[in-house]
Amino acid sequence: AQSVTQLDSQVPVFEEAPVELRCNYSSSVSVYLFWYVQYPNQGLQLLLKYLSGSTLVKGINGFEAEFNKSQTSFHLRKPSVHISDTAEYFCAVTKNSGGSNYKLTFGKGTLLTVNP
């Protein structure tokens, strides 16, 4: 089974500052990794995903994440945040089984609050 740990439940930051949201995972098999964003009263939207290849992946809204296999981490970063980035961010994992469905296991989420 897979598990995901998001180390910070809340991250307050000022506008235009850089931010890093931390994610560590545990799995006995190879995995795919994802970051989702949830704005208030909405569903989850995919920000970015790591499937294979370059360990630095870029997503929407200027976010990027780096897959580190040795540290089993997939931290999300943005060099300069905006007020509109205020949302909850979820790290997720699914096993790379080549199967016909991809069941996601989510972390508990990190609430990013961007202050003016």
Interacting residues toward other proteins by CB under 8 A: 32, 34, 36, 41-46, 49, 51, 90, 94, 96, 99-109
Q: Which amino acid is at 108?
A: K
Q: How far is the CB of 28 from other proteins (least distance, A)?
A: 18
**Percent helix, strand and coil across the chain, each rounded to 5?**
5, 55, 40
Min separation Cβ 18 and other proteins, Å: 26
Instruction: CB nearer to other proteins: give 45 or 80.
Output: 45
Task: Copy the structure tokens of residue 67.
Answer: 């897959």
Please state the closest distance from residue 40 (CB atom) to other proteins, in A: 11
Which of 30, 13, 11 is closest to 82 using CA atoms?
13
